[in-house]
Structure 1
Amino acid sequence: MLDRRSFLGSAAAMSAVTPVSAQALAPISLTSVPLPAASLRDTNPDAYWKALRAQFLIPDDVVNLNVGTVGSSPRPVLKAIFDGFETTEQMTQAGSEEYPIWGYGSWDQYRKPFADFMGAKVEQMAILRNCTEANSYVANGFDMKVGDEVLISDEEHGSGEMPWMLRSRRYGVVVKTFAMPKPPRDAAEILNRINDAITPKTRIIFVSHISTSTGVILPAKQIAALARSKGIISAFDGAHAPGMIKVDLNDIGCDLYTGSMHKWLFATKGTGFLYLRDKSVMDRVWNTVATGGYDDPTRMADRYMQIGSSCIPTLMGLNAAIDFANAIGMDRIEARNRMLTDYIHAEMTKRGAESWTSPDPALRGAIATVNVPGVQRMELQDWLWTNHKVRIRGGNPSKLRLATPYFLSKADIDRFLSLFDDYRKMKGIS
């Protein structure tokens, strides 16, 4: 076994014999690949989307139907992150008190592009580290007393549900759950279930904008209006929304909204956000992470960003992700996402799968969830990845969640469908 001195000596000797050039160390993600011409979108859309696929480092033989868990950042985003580290780590910032840390400034140059992208104002937007952190801010900070109720659905992600369960265990807040239809026939069916579950003690409705379990797009604007009509705060977990569908937060009219940028927007891992509609809402949500500036009401949403040192290059990557999405156009991205999901949804239902997303295309975005009795989800998931480099996810025993980002092709989906057919034949499942 080498001691530290011997190891350093041998490492120095190796580097002397095998010099490594800076070019050889350059990450492949910095290799520039030209973006397709905008004119190609109309003249040859298949070629356009295929060319965009080259912006992602995912190998050609990999089919990723699990963007619902985490997305892959394209080359321009990765370059912005790496360039950000290179510049910030030189420690040559102009001001004597300026350092490459995050936690004390308002960082409007990163907040405003994202606020614009989401239909919000900069003073309404706090950039945090993930949706879990933002959900915890809401659940732990919203002003409630013992016996007050929060109404959630039975399809909330653990990061949306567990902060409320913690609040319940510590402080006696009541978590009340309504059952989502599987599948919902229309938006009214969801609204009726929420309305029926409201009681005089309901203080806040907290639901996903897009269900991580089934991919259903809930009628957020109508839910917010229903809550407002009854004097109840409306809050949405929007982990799947940014980059999947076009979102206008001020048009939705909700009080609180949280989310992630690392899924469908393909931004840096470690980026999330908290939207707060106005001062009347902010006055009801306490900071649960505090440092200097947390209690300054003039800072508006910025005061929820006072979390101590963090990582500026992640925010540089976020800006690049917004630029990338805007260059394509969210209308086009959403239309492409929906088209691919409608296709895979129709093909799976032809094969006898039960739709848990919705038969109503308006309630589907880029996730189709189906139940296929007889298929063991985890066994299929492992078989697809280990043997065929196809990623899916779902829930036991037989639920499959199929996410369709815009860079996929119909050929990618057909490959999955063919393998799914092969698996059922191999297992003798009719």
Structure 2
Amino acid sequence: MLNRRSLLATATAAGLAAPFGREAFAAALTPVAMPAPGLYETNEDAYWAGLRKQFLMPADLVNLNNGTVGSSPRPVLKAVFDSYELTEQMMQDAPEDYPIWGYGPWPEFRKPFADLMGARVDQIAMVRNCTEANSFVGNGFEMKPGDEVLMSDEEHGSGIAPWELRAKRYGIVIKTFAMPKPPKSPDEILNRINDAITPRTKIIFVSHISTNTGVVLPAKQISALARSKGIVSAFDGAHAAGMMKVDLNDIGCDLYTGSMHKWLFAPKGTGFLYLRDDSIINRVWPTTVTHSWDDLTLKAGRYQQFGSSNIPTMMGLNASIALAQSIGIERIEKRHRQMADYLHAEMMKRGAESWTSPDPAMRCGITTVNVPPVSRMELETWLWKNHKIRIRGGEPSKLRLSTPYYLSKADLDRFLEKFDAFRKMKGIA
């Protein structure tokens, strides 16, 4: 068990407790009871309020920017701290057993996540973030000069950059299609993809959930369209893990990447790469390697042969998965949709332009609106500096509002109240 007093003493001696705050450091290590098992059925609001207490964020902080990074709750932090205390004693059983991962198969970390995501262990590689996973795909997928990758105009920088590097270095071609703002139906997106395909299209690389707008793309239909034309399908799923139920083998895609530090609340530095079967593994070269990278019997495991990494981070990941499973991913998804739908409707009442979708099935935990002439950065700074409300968006007037399950309706109403106050202060009708 973690010795809180000794850990505090160590942190103080290292000069860590002073800037972080001794009380805050102690609070991070203090267990808080989970909501009673039957509370959800009798009082949903009290259930989610109980889960809010698992997070170290101050009670008056409203985090509407979970889409950038989540906060790891107490059970995750405890798993990390406990693992450090255990592993750094260097008392592992075998003489060649060290407190690092990044060399071996480590099924004890891959299986819980594979189970959560509807995949097999041999289809999942644990990497350090979605950017790394995207780089494996962009730099490793076999292509010739002139071959095309097709992507949307809403991809994240870490999804675009590996292909830009590949284009500059090896002459492949990046082709984009414009996402509707907002898409009214999945067919609108499918038609735009279909119209942009050419005989040179080798791979379709799009987000499962758009980081720009929060639109949930029709991943299963896109995968089927690609397969019907002999094209590989790949998805950036940075927002999907922990936000909604995902069954990767049911989707039928060839490749899928993601991070766990957003909606699953895992430690920072956790990501994954999914490869459907041997046919795609044989077409994607590992690009960060140590020994065993060319052992095809490892299947997806060959993509996690990248050298020394952090065992406590993986223990925290397992704790985050266990927490999500104890709540129920279907219950979590339902909560995300309820909160996002409420916030979306309230922003529509205020004259905002929706960039997510009028179709509730095409959004989950993120709603994005355009609110001209409000200056996004001015509003973002004002909300944070004056009211401890954190949002994200884009210039000049786009607001991307994330609604993680621990937020309450009162939190959302507080944001709406301050948004109205800001507009009034600026003389905006």
TM-score (norm: length of structure 1): 0.94
Structure 2 gap segments, 5+ residues each: 1-11
1:94-133 → structure 2 map (5 Å cutoff): 94-133=93-132
1:60-139 → structure 2 map (5 Å cutoff): 60-139=59-138
CA distance in 1: counterparts of 2:167 and 2:391, whole angstroms: 34
1:279-294 → structure 2 map (5 Å cutoff): 279-294=278-293
What CA deviation, in whole Å up to 9, does each residue of 1:316-348 have, x standing for no partner?
A: 000000000000000100000000000000000
Residue type at the aligned position of 1:404: T
CA distance in 2: counterparts of 1:66 and 1:103, whole angstroms: 31
Could you say what secondary structure the match of 1:27 adopts? helix
CA spacing shift, 1:410–1:26, aligned 2, 3 Å: closer
What CA deviation, in whole Å up to 9, does each residue of 1:160-219 have, x standing for no partner?
A: 011101100000000000000000000000000000000000000000000000000000
Q: Which residue of 2 aligns with 1:428?
A: 427
Confirm or deny that 1:201 pairs with 2:195: no
Q: Which residue of 2 aligns with 1:226?
A: 225
1:123-162 → structure 2 map (5 Å cutoff): 123-162=122-161
CA distance in 2: counterparts of 1:26 and 1:173, whole angstroms: 50
Residue type at the aligned position of 2:365: A
CA spacing shift, 1:235–1:55, aligned 2, 3 Å: same
139-148 vs 27-36, which moves further: 27-36
CA distance in 2: counterparts of 1:207 and 1:387, whole angstroms: 37
CA spacing shift, 1:25–1:362, aligned 2, 3 Å: closer
Q: Which residue of 1 aligns with 2:251?
A: 252
Q: Which residue of 2 aligns with 1:10?
A: none
User: Which consecutive aligned stretches of 4+ in structure 1 deviate over 4 angstroms post-superposition?
Assistant: 23-26
Larger Rg: 1
Could you say what secondary structure the match of 1:205 adopts? strand
CA distance in 1: counterparts of 2:394 and 2:77, whole angstroms: 31
What CA deviation, in whole Å up to 9, does each residue of 1:278-321 have, x standing for no partner?
A: 01100000010111000010110000000000000000000000
What CA deviation, in whole Å up to 9, does each residue of 1:8-41 have, x standing for no partner?
A: xxxxxx98xxxx9xx9896321100000012000
Instruction: Using the TM superposition, give the Cα deviation of residue 263 of structure 1 relative to its aligned residue in structure 2, in angstroms.
Output: 0.1
CA distance in 2: counterparts of 1:160 and 1:354, whole angstroms: 26
1:176-215 → structure 2 map (5 Å cutoff): 176-215=175-214
Q: Which residue of 2 aligns with 1:413?
A: 412
Could you say what secondary structure the match of 1:319 adopts? helix
Q: Which residue of 1 aligns with 2:165?
A: 166
Structure 1 gap segments, 5+ residues each: 1-13
Q: Which residue of 1 aligns with 2:7?
A: none
Residue type at the aligned position of 2:349: K
RMSD of aligned alpha carbons:
1.3
CA distance in 2: counterparts of 1:102 and 1:50, whole angstroms: 36
Q: Which residue of 1 aligns with 2:268?
A: 269
Residue type at the aligned position of 1:221: K
Q: Which residue of 1 aligns with 2:322?
A: 323
Q: Which residue of 1 aligns with 2:45?
A: 46
CA distance in 2: counterparts of 1:332 and 1:400, whole angstroms: 26
What CA deviation, in whole Å up to 9, does each residue of 1:51-90 have, x standing for no partner?
A: 1100000100100000000000010000000101110100
What CA deviation, in whole Å up to 9, does each residue of 1:348-369 have, x standing for no partner?
A: 0100000000000000010000
CA distance in 2: counterparts of 1:228 and 1:28, whole angstroms: 51
CA distance in 2: counterparts of 1:110 and 1:364, whole angstroms: 30
Q: Which residue of 2 aligns with 1:372?
A: 371
CA distance in 2: counterparts of 1:28 and 1:360, whole angstroms: 42
What CA deviation, in whole Å up to 9, does each residue of 1:77-113 have, x standing for no partner?
A: 0000010111010000000000001121110000000
CA distance in 2: counterparts of 1:282 and 1:233, whole angstroms: 12
Residue type at the aligned position of 1:218: L
1:305-324 → structure 2 map (5 Å cutoff): 305-324=304-323
Could you say what secondary structure the match of 1:156 adopts? coil
1:289-368 → structure 2 map (5 Å cutoff): 289-368=288-367
Instruction: Using the TM superposition, give the Cα deviation of residue 236 of structure 1 relative to its aligned residue in structure 2, in angstroms.
Output: 0.1
Residue type at the aligned position of 1:356: W
| Number of equivalent positions | 411
Q: Which residue of 1 aligns with 2:234?
A: 235
CA distance in 2: counterparts of 1:249 and 1:210, whole angstroms: 14
Instruction: Using the TM superposition, give the Cα deviation of residue 118 of structure 1 relative to its aligned residue in structure 2, in angstroms.
Output: 0.4
Of all paired residues, the percent bearing the same amino acid is 71
Instruction: Using the TM superposition, give the Cα deviation of residue 408 of structure 1 relative to its aligned residue in structure 2, in angstroms.
Output: 0.3
